[in-house]
Amino acid sequence: MQAELSDKINERAGLRQWARTALIVAAVCFAMPFSHIQTGEFEATFSLWQFAASAFRYSDIGYLFPESVSSMLIVSRVLAWTLMVFVALGLVMLFNRNRATKTKDNSVWVMVFSVIALICVFALYFYVSYLIRTYIDEKVLISFAAGGLALIAALVVAILCLVVKMVNSRTALAAMLIFIAIPLTIIFGSLLLENRKYFFISVLVIFETMLPFFLIFENRRPEARELVLISVVAAIAVIGRAVFFMVPNFKPITAIIIIAGACIGPDDGFLTGAMTAFVSNFFFGQGPWTPWQMFSFGIIGFLTGLLFRKGILTRRKLPLCIYGAAVSILIYGFLMDTYTVLSLDFVSSKAEVLAIYASGFPVNCVHAVATFTFLFFLSKPMIEKLDRVRIKYGMMDPDKEEEVREE
């Protein structure tokens, strides 16, 4: 009886339930506005149901197509129906599971169906965009509506939850998300959404960074002290950035993130860096740069934790300070200068690109000096305090987490 109750608790709190909820949200988005189309005379929004039921063909925009294009519009119906069918199949397979014996775990198939559905979302969007701009007007504005963005987010969440469920190593999962999923998310926001949905992209990046942390609690209940430690370190970094607001680029935020990565591990170091950038920008201003800052600070926290875990980087003060100054220029400075290059429309030659990187170098040097200085004074006392808390309560122990995961 107790084992059966434990199975039900794990099923209710598990990542499979998250994936199931995400696919339910995706199904609800079928009736919500999927794409927004604006011409010189009028504008309209269309849902997936309208694409699937040929309502798009008989709309005001659909009548602008020549008769020869009628057969080509059938492809949009096929893509819409394919998307909805695969989401429905994924939901059926997630609900079709024996909770007592857990013999029907179809997570791999559900993940494949979700990936196919996500591909259909972008295929439908680009295909309709191609038809409208080819046969109606090249200047027509086409974008994802609220329902389309929610559908993409729901499918991404479902895929990531199922990936997390199948990957046992937190560090390996974090590396996959950091070097594949998060860069693709930022590129999606920068290119397809044209930096207009930066808050949506920031929230999605936060969810992706939290997934490795959720992996700890797949087979046990979360403990408040583990959540509090990360929250406190992130809060200290946010406050440190706010206190030194009057000094441009001379702030302790990078130093604190490095200390966090050294003490609580690479994946939690990335989470601390990303959350610090997101929350502190409520004071300094949110914008298209926010996801890039989250990624840059997170990379520094992840790399620091990984180097400490492998024994390459030690807690000696001078090497740590030099390392902090180096990553401030080579990682944070380079990534943010790259964002500047990509966000400016007038940059068209190598000379202009090099001029942007050169103009950003003095600013990055100020950032490096700040990181060096704050690490020199803060590293020893903060690392001692965080180590004491971590050891006393047995938190953030990679060996212990792997043992729990294997059980």
- For the chain, 407 residues long, give each residue's pLDDT as a single digit of tens: 444 444 444 444 467 787 888 889 889 888 888 888 877 666 778 888 888 877 777 776 777 777 777 777 788 888 889 999 999 998 888 877 544 444 456 778 888 899 899 889 988 888 888 888 887 777 777 888 888 888 888 888 888 778 767 665 666 667 777 777 778 787 777 666 666 667 778 877 877 777 766 665 555 555 667 778 888 999 999 999 999 988 888 999 999 999 999 988 887 888 899 899 999 998 888 888 888 898 899 899 989 988 988 888 888 889 999 999 999 999 999 999 988 887 777 677 788 888 889 999 999 999 999 999 999 999 999 999 988 888 777 765 554 444 444 44
Are 266 and 170 a contacting pair, CB within 8 Å? no
CATH code for position 234? 1.10.1760.20
Last residue of a domain, one of 128, 151, 166: 166
Answer yes or no: do 93 and 29 share one domain.
Answer: yes
Measure Cα distances from 38 to 2, 21, 30, 189, 195 in Å. 59, 33, 21, 20, 19
Strands (E) located in 244-327 = none
Are 91 and 24 a contacting pair, CB within 8 Å? yes
Residue 54 lies in a domain: yes
Answer yes or no: do 139 and 245 share one domain.
Answer: no
CATH code for position 55? 1.20.140
Structure tokens at 390: 């971590």
Sign of the dihedral through C-alpha 87, 91, 96, 102:
positive
Residue 176 lies in a domain: no
Answer yes or no: do 36 and 129 share one domain.
Answer: yes
Would you list the DSSP string of 146-208? HHHHHHHHHHHHHHHHHHHHH---HHHHHHHIIIIIHHHHHHIIIIISTTS-HHHHHHHHHHH
| Rounded distance between C-alpha atoms, residue 151 and residue 47, angstroms | 11
Answer yes or no: do 227 and 152 share one domain.
Answer: no
Answer yes or no: do 124 and 252 share one domain.
Answer: no
Last residue of a domain, one of 151, 166, 181: 166
Answer yes or no: do 301 and 402 share one domain.
Answer: yes
Residue 199 lies in a domain: no
Helix (H, G, I), strand (E, B) or coil at 138: coil
Are 209 and 273 a contacting pair, CB within 8 Å? no
pLDDT at position 332 is 94
Which residues are CB-contacts of 209 (< 8 A; sequence separation ≥ 6)? 177, 182, 270, 271, 274, 275, 294, 298
Answer yes or no: do 249 and 160 share one domain.
Answer: no
Structural domain count of the chain: 2
**pTM assigned to the model:** 0.67
| Rounded distance between C-alpha atoms, residue 211 and residue 228, angstroms | 17
Which residues are CB-contacts of 239 (< 8 A; sequence separation ≥ 6)? none
Answer yes or no: do 40 and 142 share one domain.
Answer: yes
Q: Please give the residue range of the domain that contains residue 16.
A: 2-166
Answer yes or no: do 237 and 329 share one domain.
Answer: yes
Answer yes or no: do 142 and 255 share one domain.
Answer: no
Answer yes or no: do 148 and 16 share one domain.
Answer: yes
Residue 192 lies in a domain: no
Are 242 and 277 a contacting pair, CB within 8 Å? no
Structure tokens at 208: 């992706």
Residue 255 lies in a domain: yes
Residue 188 lies in a domain: no
Q: How far apart are the first and last CA of the chain?
A: 19
Residue 253 lies in a domain: yes
Last residue of a domain, one of 166, 183, 199: 166
Strand partners, 38: 43, 141
Fill in the amino acid letter for 350: K
| Rounded distance between C-alpha atoms, residue 205 and residue 190, angstroms | 13
Residue 140 lies in a domain: yes
Answer yes or no: do 10 and 134 share one domain.
Answer: yes
Tally of CB atoms within 10 A around 271: 27
